[in-house]
Structure 1
Amino acid sequence: MAGHHEHGRSGADDAQGAAAMFEPTGWDERYAGQERFWSGEPNPQLVAAAERLAPGAALDVGCGEGGDVVWLAGQGWRVTGADFSAEGLARASRHTEDAGVAERVDWWQVDARTFEAAGRVYDLVTSHYLHAPDGGMVDVTRRLATAVAPGGLLLVVGHAPSHEFTQLSESHRNAMFLAAELLPGLPDDFEPVAVEQRRRTLERDGGPVEAEDSVLLARRATR
């Protein structure tokens, strides 16, 4: 799945390189080539949704370097960090060790596009800035929803389409979504809690820019 700091390029080779960012090998190479990619801070929409919840079991899909996993574990959650990049998971594991929360964390190498819960359920399932190509986030949402326990929450956050992302490839821009576009992926026993775009400041080399997060928060019925 594409991350949110990929810079667009032009030409056939560049299009091929952009496509690789939707595949595990592309992210393995990316993580191997840079000491730290993300800030390590928890994503703000996760903090807003989870900071007042009683800790339980959480699944973070597309966990990358593990910033959200570390935060959740530090709040008392039992967390499974999932990603399709082996290099990303190895890096995330090191970060949980450094933070002293490794005993509260498990790891799962899985591609969100083929995700199957296989009977595993969690009180909170979350995914941040995971963008599947060709409108694939509706199916990803449907798959992730199967892992939510009765009464539990599903939180899917991504980038809304914006002129601030003109530096990205066309395939990456097309993978962005509005929160309402994910609603067809919710099973009938889910009730939307928040379906909206929220403004957020991104730090860029040229200074801060304003963009929007697409936020879908939904709760599964208790039976």
Structure 2
Amino acid sequence: MTESTQDAQEFWEEFYGGHEKVWSGRVNAQLADVAADLAPGRALDLGCGEGADAIWLAEDGWQVVAVDVSANALERARAAAERRGVAVRIRFGRHDLSTSFPDGRFDLVSAQFLHSPVTLDREAVLRRAAEAVTVGGRLLIVDHGAAPPWAGEHVHEHHFATVEEVLAGMDLDGRQWERLRAETVDRDAVGPDGQAATLTDNVILLRRLDTQAASWKISPSV
């Protein structure tokens, strides 16, 4: 699956430009599993789309910054948040993550299926996502590990990065991060024509360590 050089904003505005909702409106399962075990704090949702993950987090008590490159997507997400009564807990923002990134530090940074058929420096975006995690916070990355059965031939020919390839591309300092999960998982899904299928996802969950505290503990006594 070769990346197009089409402008990212133009592509995603067209993608979300129709009258029908694109996604299911349900929270991504891996995000729900991870966040369910955490005390609500500040969360960053990268590539929020129509807002399902951000809304779920807000309903669970999180303060959320949710960003996307598409104004159409953000408009839908804001409207959905207002309908669900959680708009006050979500700050939506428009960012092309290749060129700009939201300010602040977060207890949870979520990048769910942050793939793009147009040019995107994913490795740089994920490194910046890691920088936005506060000490003790989590970075959750969920990627497609393989093409869905119903995808076109060009998608099946695309190389989907493995968990280890994603981690190597981020080049994080192992002294600053704890791997809580780094694995490939399968999940049941239903295709566009109602067909049952099994999809493969890469799941990476990292926790930022307090390296200053660790240094203090091992410092020699005076």
Compute the displacement of 1:177 (Å).
2.3
Of 171, 185, 198, the match for 1:210: 198
- For residue 12 of structure 1, what is the aligned residue in structure 2? none
3-state SS of 2:37 partner:
coil
3-state SS of 2:76 partner:
helix
Matched, 1:114 2:99: yes
Q: Which runs of 5+ in 2 are unaligned?
A: 212-222
Compute the displacement of 1:201 (Å).
1.7
- For residue 199 of structure 1, what is the aligned residue in structure 2? 186
Give the partner amino acid of 2:126: T
Q: Give the TM-score normalised by structure 1.
A: 0.83
Conserved in 1, the CA contact under 8 Å of 2:95 and 2:102? no
Conserved in 1, the CA contact under 8 Å of 2:98 and 2:120? no
Q: CA RMSD in A?
A: 2.5
CA distance in 2, matches of 1:222, 1:68: 28
Conserved in 1, the CA contact under 8 Å of 2:27 and 2:56? yes
- For residue 112 of structure 2, what is the aligned residue in structure 1? 128
Identity %: 36
Conserved in 2, the CA contact under 8 Å of 1:141 and 1:186? no
Q: Residue 61 and residue 171 in structure 1: after superposition, are their counterparts in 2 closer, same or farther (change >3 A)? A: farther
Residues 1-16 of structure 1 mapped to structure 2, 5 A cutoff: none
- For residue 11 of structure 1, what is the aligned residue in structure 2? none
- For residue 68 of structure 1, what is the aligned residue in structure 2? 53
CA distance in 1, matches of 2:112, 2:92: 17
Conserved in 2, the CA contact under 8 Å of 1:161 and 1:178? no
Deviations 1:20-78 (A, max 9, x none): 78712111112121320001100000011111210000000010000000100000000
CA distance in 1, matches of 2:123, 2:156: 16
Of 134, 148, 161, the match for 1:177: 161
Aligned length: 206
Conserved in 1, the CA contact under 8 Å of 2:55 and 2:81? yes
Matched, 1:80 2:68: no
Deviations 1:86-115 (A, max 9, x none): 111111111100111000000121122234
Give the partner amino acid of 1:62: G
Q: Which runs of 5+ in 1 are unaligned?
A: 1-7, 9-14
- Larger displacement relative to structure 2 (130-139 or 87-96): 130-139
